[in-house]
Amino acid sequence: MVMQFSPAVRNAALDAMETAAGTAPTLEIRSGGPPANTAAADTGTVLATMTLPSDWLAAASAGSKALLGTWQDPSADATGTAGHFRIKQAGTTHFQGVCGQTVALTTSGATAAAGAVLTFASTTGAAVGMLVTGTGVPANTYVIALTSTTVTMSQASSAGVSSGASITFSPDLAIDNASIAAGQQVTATSFTLAAGGA
């Protein structure tokens, strides 16, 4: 049996994460994929840097905790494509993940039941590590590989996915524009921590 937790325990765990990371941490948006873990050295180029609000996440509710206040860099550090983020306090990375824009793509072919590969005219905007949602896609499914026209999911679809279906790809941290130019304003639009075990 998978261990389960009450809403109070899940919420307390999420609130403790924000406390452990400290007040007003620094968010770095970087190019390329994230390092192997939070203890690994930084990778990619720093494209934008934000000092988050003192209270930067809303109080946890129903097992999730979303960004609070404005997360924004008024003048980006460099030009490039956002790939990952790191949230740091005094040089220590406490959170990292995939960064980019949420994108909806339409399948160009059907995926049979028990299939894990989706087909599109183009996979532009999707990236390894993004959450995949849509009719026929199991909950908590992520991109594990992609080509210019296909996406391989972390879980197979039990019912299959029809041609012409709208599939949404969501990064851990969504920003208003993944193609960043030096000096432009960069704003985080979505970030949510979730605790399982309900």
Q: Which amino acid is at 24?
A: A
The domain limits of the chain are 7-100+173-194, 103-170
Q: How far apart (Å, rounded) are the C-alpha atoms in residues 124 and 103?
A: 9
The confidence band for 3, taking pLDDT boundaries of 50, 70 and 90, is: confident
Whether residue 1 is predicted with pLDDT greater than 70 in this model: the reply is: no
Is 173 in contact with 45 (CB distance < 8 Å)? no
Give the pLDDT of residue 195.
Answer: 84
pTM: 0.85
What separation, in Å, do the N-terminal and C-terminal C-alpha atoms of the chain show? 13
Q: How far apart (Å, rounded) are the C-alpha atoms in residues 140 and 129?
A: 11
Phi, psi of 9 (to 5 degrees): -70, -45
93-114 in b/e form (b: 16+ CB < 10 A) is bebbebbbbbbebebeeebeee
The confidence band for 74, taking pLDDT boundaries of 50, 70 and 90, is: very high
178 DSSP β-pair partners: none
Whether residue 190 is predicted with pLDDT greater than 80 in this model: the reply is: yes
Burial class (CB in 10 A: 0-12, 13-18, 19+), 13: middle
DSSP label at 72? E
